[in-house]
Amino acid sequence: MNLDNCPRCGRLYVKNIMDLCQPCIKDLEHQYETCVSYLRENRGTNIQELSDATEIPIKEITRFIREGRISIANAPNMMYPCEVCGTLIREGHMCDSCRNRLRKDLTNAVKEDAPAEPSKKSGEGAYRAVDKMRE
């Protein structure tokens, strides 16, 4: 049996798909249902108001949104924080400025790793095992 400690509460449980113990899964589902019912009644709310009203951490609400369990298509004020800088965004994991900065850093890293001048291969002075066998 695969046993592990629950990352939320520390209880010992049999590993499952959600990587949580049964009481934490039920608690998480209850939090999800609470968020959904509040959003149905208050479509114009933002993530901070939702968190304050339901007493569910913004981190959990963001996870529900990223998993696709909560749709923000019909909630015009609903945005969640960028994983890098915390700016509020409506899609993805990073805001445009962080994405552009990452792209620029990756481009610069590739340029630095590329050799400045390709090495020229010449047959002179090279020693090959085949040459030794011929002698």
pLDDT tens figures, 74-121: 888 899 999 999 999 998 899 999 999 999 999 999 988 876 555 555
19-28 pLDDT per residue, tens: 999 999 999 9
Contact 84, 94 (CB under 8 A): yes
What's the pLDDT score for residue 127? 60
pLDDT of residue 119: 53
d(C-alpha 62, C-alpha 64), whole Å: 5
What is the structure's pLDDT at 74? 81
User: For residues 95 and 91, what is the distance between their CA atoms, to the nearest angstrom?
Assistant: 8
User: What is residue 76's predicted lDDT score, i.e. its pLDDT?
Assistant: 85
**CA nearest to 48, candidates 80, 92, 5:** 80
Q: How crowded is residue 47: how many other Cβ atoms within 10 Å of its Cβ?
A: 20
Q: Is 133 exposed, middle or buried (0-12, 13-18, 19+ CB in 10 A)?
A: exposed
Query: In which element (H, E) is residue 5 found?
Result: strand 3-5
Percentage above 90 pLDDT, the chain: 62
Report all structural domains of the chain as residue ranges with CATH numbers, in order of start.
3-78 (1.10.10)
Question: Closest Cα partner for 47 from 30, 63, 26?
Answer: 63
Q: What is the pLDDT of residues 34-85, one digit of tens each?
A: 999 999 998 889 999 999 999 999 999 999 999 899 988 888 889 999 999 9
CA distance 6 to 28: 13
**Any residues with CB less than 8 A from the CB of 35 and at least 6 apart, and which?**
50, 54, 56, 61, 64, 70
